[in-house]
Structure 1
Amino acid sequence: MRPYRKIPRSPWTVAAGAALAIVTAGAFSTLAGLLVGPLHEDLGWSRASVGLVSLVNMVVYGATAPFAAALMDRFGMRRVAVGALCLVGSGAALTTTMTAPWQFVLYWGVLVGLGTGATATTFAATVTERWFVARRGLVTGLLTAASVVGQFVFLPVLSWVIDAYSWRAAAAALACAAACALPVVWAAVREPQKAPGRTEDTAHPASRTKDNTRPTGRTEDAARPTARTEDAARRALRTLVRAARTGPFWLLAGTFAVCGASTNGVMWTHFAPAAHDHGMPVTVAASLLSLIGIFNVAGTVGSGWLTDRADPRRLLATYYALRGLTLLALPLLLTSAVDAPLVAFTVVFGLLDVATVPPTIALCRAHYGADAPVVFGWVSAAHQVGAGAVAFAGGVTRDAFGSYDPVWVGAGALCAGAALLALTVRRPQGPQGPRVTPPARATPRRSRALPASPPPCR
């Protein structure tokens, strides 16, 4: 164990390792959209069958998230993240050998869905909750942006590999990427070292680590919590039962389902084939998606910064309303060439695409405290159900009507409804939701032992 002590166990080191895992897994999320045409031409599969794989992948992705958050509490973040990379790598490698649609459902829908779900935004929420006290919204935005980088920045590369070689080569490249990321994530996302005979986590961010490292924003030591021994699945289900009895959970789940429907469901799955229907080469459409990803990074980080300073409910309402307007305008903008209005659409949609994540996590933290990562996992499950339903409906609509236009209009209408729902979420007690957390309430009881130190949260 002595060599591990040479690796700095700072919060930013853990965040960097988590970002690498999220980037790698994120690259798997959008490849299915690029495979619609090649699988249709090479294997003769219908677009609806490929859309069914996207549906299974997104539902499994969403269902995995809350259980993964509970597993991280039980077994640690490192083991879950490394196991997730093994799953996505295995799924991509097996995809290169498939010859029937049911194999695509199993390899990409189930295995890749499990792996990407375990390294989803719940992973970012867990890292932020454990290792950061100050600037939580900003760090959440940065880790969410890492997912965006994986989803969009590699799209042109994967599209080029498909054109130059084959879709099997693209899947094999992703399997190699997961294998290369494994040792780095294992070294960076350090597991807390436990002293002999002790069950509490000696490197938990509530206290100092063995190398005298505090979490970012912590100014004094706090009581170390006892490690959870409850079964992860049981805890995830019990948390769901408790959260389901509250109104904010259903409102957040409903809005996040629309978020998934209007991003993963239509844009990440059907934008490339829809643009190709208008005569645009798939490589050019993938480049536009990559441009969306670039502005996603700026939009997500900016949204995290705003979440630390503004009402998350109003931010969500603004994001959904503007996203709905852009989707309603898209059928009028798609052409065979890239012009200024289409570029403007990609910029605006990119700024709004994943900007909903930091405010949603902040509201979960404000209403559900220490259970926020697991609750957000269930909210993310709703996100993926909405995404999968619209991904499947988009393929069916294209096969039935020969156009994706009804899908864009329907997604825009759903965003308008989500904007209204976001404003009805009950305002949490306190001046700002994200700061109303259990550590902030527990600090005054500890302050008597440290009379010279001010309370960390005001």
Structure 2
Amino acid sequence: MKASPPTPKMYYGWIVVAITFVTLLVSAGIRSIPSIFMLPFEKEFGWSRGGISSVVSIGIFLYGLIGPFSAALLERFGIRRVMVASLAVLAVSLSITPLMKHLWQFELLWGLVAGLGTGMMANVLGVTVTNHWFVKRRGLVVGILTASAATGQLLFLPLLAKITVELGWRYSVYTAVAVIAVLLIVVAIWMRNHPYDAGVAPYGEQELVKPAPFRGNLFLTPLQALRSGLKNRTFWLLAGTFFFCGFSTNGLIGTHLIPACGDHGIPEVMAAGLLALMGLFDLFGTTLSGWLSDRYDSRWLLFWYYGLRGLSLLFLPYALNASATSLMIFTVFYGLDWIATVPPTVKLATKEFGKEKAGMIFGWVVVSHQIGASVAAYGAGTLRDLLGSYTVPFIAAGFVCLFAALMAIRIAKVASASASAPAA
């Protein structure tokens, strides 16, 4: 069923992108909250750094694991319904959090419920929105939506850290719940699932096409996508590099930079400001990465991103012990590269597996990312308890990023080989 849609004054897809951007922004802000609460929870409840890190680790893992199934749910039930349900789950989970008294309750509310809720609004949501609404400028849109995760830290961390220090961590939770409530209303009213629902064609096309209904099984289809990915060497290399990406970003720096700064006498609000500044620079860096991925070889982009990130992490232990200037240099340099790896990784997955499978395939790549992040979140906290500092985790993350840069070169060789092979 095809028709020529009227030319709108403003393409509605940009409104959808804006709503998705804010949703991912809020989701990222919520995921970053435990890093602010780590020190207050140690003081109030007497929980160890490793115990709190285990909760963060579970949440990070589930955030990634739900991604492929989220892609299927988004296709089956529509983007708007899934977003509304996820926001409602988060609101309930956060509302109960101030009543908790034991670590297992924190594990249930943040490790399990919040992990699943934010997982439904992960990078897979951005990929699905982009593939539905855009044919042209996909790399740029993916870059914009990916950057929203860093922007969430930019807006939320300093504010919530200040509220936590001045009023207590419970008031930070109440603030997050209020933001979610407003966002839920916005999504319910203005979000649209597909260009057809708004009476427009995908950006870059001229014909309005009714979307084909999702016919797969909600649980088997993602597993079938994984099965096809496991047979593809490029998938393994993408998943491997993304494991190290998660290990070196939200698992390590996103979770432990604030307590690491606390170990060196840097106030919590100031440390949160450093993460926020990283978010500001990543907003620019990841958006630029999306623009670059539309124009240059994504494999070589990944090589440079991982290599430069590794060097910055090797510099971090020195920066923490040196001066404010050195720490600011790390913040700017690392921030530009925080999650700039996502747009080229999405492009490689889409090119290798096709637009129809790209969401679920990338979802499984994100699972690898979150496993790496989960390992770093728990491992770094445990090593800090054993060794008294974060030096070893930071150095290890630097070297694994350099290894990921070498893997990116291998992706180039495999992709070019497969591209030159005759079609079956």
TM-score under structure 1 normalisation?
0.86
One-letter code aligned to 2:344? P
Counterpart in the other structure of 2:201 = 214
User: Of the candidates 238, 243, 252, which is equivalent to residue 229 of structure 2?
Assistant: 243
Alpha-carbon distance in structure 2 between the residues aligned to 1:53 and 1:7 = 48
Deviations 1:123-154 (A, max 9, x none): 00001111001111001111111121113321
After superposition, the Cα gap between the structure-2 partners of 1:428 and 1:376, relative to the gap in structure 1 and judged at 3 Å, is: farther
Alignment of 1:45-64 (within 5 A): 45-64=47-66
Alignment of 1:429-448 (within 5 A): none
Deviations 1:20-47 (A, max 9, x none): 2111111111111111110000000001
Matched, 1:320 2:293: no
Alpha-carbon distance in structure 2 between the residues aligned to 1:191 and 1:298 = 28
Counterpart in the other structure of 2:3 = none
After superposition, the Cα gap between the structure-2 partners of 1:68 and 1:158, relative to the gap in structure 1 and judged at 3 Å, is: same
Alpha-carbon distance in structure 1 between the residues aligned to 2:398 and 2:155 = 25
Tell me by how many angstroms 1:223 deviates: 5.5
Contact 1:65 1:381 in 2 (8 A): yes
Alignment of 1:292-331 (within 5 A): 292-331=278-317
Alpha-carbon distance in structure 1 between the residues aligned to 2:140 and 2:193 = 24
Counterpart in the other structure of 1:348 = 333
Tell me by how many angstroms 1:175 deviates: 1.5
Tell me by how many angstroms 1:342 deviates: 1.4
Q: Secondary structure at the match of 1:265?
A: coil
After superposition, the Cα gap between the structure-2 partners of 1:49 and 1:389, relative to the gap in structure 1 and judged at 3 Å, is: same
Identity rate of aligned residues, in percent?
39
Deviations 1:71-95 (A, max 9, x none): 1111111111111111222221121
* Larger mean Cα displacement after TM superposition, 164-173 or 280-289: 164-173
Matched, 1:406 2:392: yes
Higher gyration radius (CA): 1
Alpha-carbon distance in structure 2 between the residues aligned to 1:118 and 1:428 = 34
Q: Secondary structure at the match of 2:250?
A: helix
Alpha-carbon distance in structure 2 between the residues aligned to 1:401 and 1:366 = 45
Q: Secondary structure at the match of 2:215?
A: coil
Q: Unaligned regions of 5+ residues in structure 2, if any?
A: 1-7, 420-424
User: Of the candidates 349, 363, 388, which is equivalent to residue 364 of structure 1?
Assistant: 349
Alpha-carbon distance in structure 2 between the residues aligned to 1:292 and 1:394 = 20
Higher relative contact order (CA 8 A, sep 6+): 2
Q: Secondary structure at the match of 1:232?
A: coil
One-letter code aligned to 2:300? R
One-letter code aligned to 2:272? A
Alpha-carbon distance in structure 2 between the residues aligned to 1:210 and 1:346 = 42
Tell me by how many angstroms 1:217 deviates: 1.3
Matched, 1:383 2:369: yes
How many residues align? The count is 409
Q: Secondary structure at the match of 1:318?
A: helix
One-letter code aligned to 1:56? I
User: Of the candidates 26, 38, 41, which is equivalent to residue 36 of structure 1?
Assistant: 38
Contact 1:279 1:336 in 2 (8 A): no
Counterpart in the other structure of 1:271 = 257
User: Of the candidates 60, 79, 82, which is equivalent to residue 80 of structure 1?
Assistant: 82
Matched, 1:427 2:412: no
Tell me by how many angstroms 1:105 deviates: 0.6
Q: Unaligned regions of 5+ residues in structure 1, if any?
A: 1-5, 193-202, 432-458
Alignment of 1:182-221 (within 5 A): 182-191=184-193, 203-204=195-196, 211=199, 213-218=200-205, 220-221=206-207
After superposition, the Cα gap between the structure-2 partners of 1:245 and 1:331, relative to the gap in structure 1 and judged at 3 Å, is: same
